Amino acid sequence: MSGTEGSPGGINRLIHEPARLMIMSYLAVVESADFLFLQSQTGLTFGNLSSHLSRLEEAGYLRVEKKFVGKKPNTILSLTATGREAFDRYRRQMMEMLDEEEA
Amino acid sequence: MSQPIDLETIERKAYSSKFRDGLHDIQIGLLLVGAWALLVDFTGDTYIFREAMPIYLLYCLVISTIPWLGKRWITARRMGTMKPGVERRLKIRKAGVVLALIVLIQAFLVLLQTMGIIQVGTDHLLFALGAGTIVFLPMAVIAHRNDLIRGYVHAILVGMTVTLIILLDTGAPLLWSGVVILTMGLFIFIRFMIQNPLPDDTPVSEEE
């Protein structure tokens, strides 16, 4: 799933959605983060964040590692190489588009 | 060139959020108050009671566990954890090199003074300002490394404290700045605990 089907200028619509863009941005600047960190940074609800993470994981952008701390689950999230590449491409395209607007 | 997503700001926000629980402030506040309680000679001749230094160093060791233990058992379960990215790790390494250089210069200056190669009167304003700057610099480097504005406030307060100790010939500034930073830390910690209650059914975090 590329997320670019039918979108103007080949912009990745999967990443372009505001909540997912926020998630991708946070994960792009760290090596990894856990679910709770991402939730506290983005301000998304548990269910909302889970659903967006599932979409990104299905696209192969996200690596999800589940482990236990004591008896409680701890989910570690990081971008895959594909995810980083897609995010970099998205940023480049957006910058080009905005530069064209300014010119 | 346009910048639709400011990753630098996002990275700064993500990394500095590690300090939003106030534990770092509490640690520095306790170190200063402890220095006042353990090192100051209240009998009057001198403001430093050197014999207590080993006890103070032991105290520092205990206090330095506060951020780690506090995160491990209290705050990481409320705010989550992250591992810094490549850029931040590079910045931490660079700051480490600068800190090491500053410490080496400080040690060299102390050595020169001890050997009598340089003579600076301890009642001199320039000496007081120099000593304050020497303490301010490493703390400012740490604040820069952590992208923590409060860190610069700590650095200024502690630098001023050292200057005032020398100028006024009293250990009281340690208590003043210690109480200010400790109060700030406790306020931030309490606010953090109120704003971030521990959810029952969400995943927990483990501080690395």
The predicted pLDDT at position B2 comes to 46
Q: Which residues of A touch B72 (CB under 8 A)?
A: none
Encoded amino acid at B3, one letter: Q
Report if residue A56 sits inside a domain. Answer: yes
The alpha-carbon gap from A102 to the nearest alpha carbon of chain B, in Å, equals 9
pLDDT for the residue numbered B52: 77
Q: Identify the residue with better confidence: A86 or B54.
A: A86
In degrees, rounded to 5, the angle at the alpha carbon of residue B198 between the alpha carbons of residues B194 and B200 is: 145
The mean per-residue pLDDT over the stretch B23-31 comes to 95
Pairing assessment for the beta strands A72-79 and A30-34 based on DSSP bridges: antiparallel
Write down the H helix ranges in B115-171. 125-146, 149-168
Q: What is the arithmetic mean of pLDDT over B136-159?
A: 93
pLDDT of residue B113: 77
Stated pTM of the model = 0.82
Residue B167: predicted pLDDT: 86
Those residues whose C-beta lies under 8 Å from the C-beta of residue A94, and which sit 6 or more positions away, are A11, B2, B4, B5
pLDDT at B50: 64
Whether residue A1 is contained in a domain is answered as no
Residue B208 has pLDDT above 50, yes or no: no
Domain ranges of chain B: 9-191
Per-residue model confidence as pLDDT tens digits over A62-78: 999 998 877 778 899 99
| Chain A partners within 8 Å of B204 (Cβ) | 36, 69-70, 72-74
Q: What is the mean pLDDT of chain B?
A: 86
**Residues in chain A where the model's pLDDT stays below 70:** 1-9, 103
Reading the block at residue B64, the tokens are 């330095």
* CATH code (residue A38): 1.10.10.10
**pLDDT tens profile B72-107:** 889 998 999 999 999 999 999 999 999 999 889 888
Which of these, B79, B92, B108, B103, lies nearest to B14 by C-alpha position?
B79
Q: What is the pLDDT of residue B27?
A: 95
In a domain, A4, yes or no: no
Distances (CA, A) of A92 to A9, B3, B4: 12, 9, 9
Residue B3 sits at the chain A interface (C-beta within 8 Å): yes
A71 part of a folded domain: yes
Calculate how close chain A gets to B171, using CA atoms only, in Å: 41
B106 touches B134 (CB < 8 A): yes
- Residues of chain A neighbouring B80 (CB-CB closer than 8 A): 33-40
pLDDT digits (tens, 9 = 90+) for B111-145: 887 787 777 665 578 888 988 998 999 999 999 99
Q: List the domain range (segments joined by +) for residue A80.
A: 12-102
Q: Is-contact A36 B204, C-beta < 8 A? A: yes
ipTM, two decimals, is 0.84
Give the dihedral of Cα atoms B5, B9, A39, B75; nearest 10 deg.
170
Query: Is residue A2 included in any domain, yes or no?
Result: no
Name the domain count of chain A.
1
The answer to whether residue A57 sits within a structural domain is yes
List the alpha helices (DSSP H) in B17-124.
23-39, 53-63, 66-70, 76-79, 86-114
Position B205 pLDDT exceeds 80: no
- Residues whose CB is less than 8 angstroms from the CB of residue A20 and which lie 6 or more positions away in sequence, other chains included: A14, A52, A55, A56
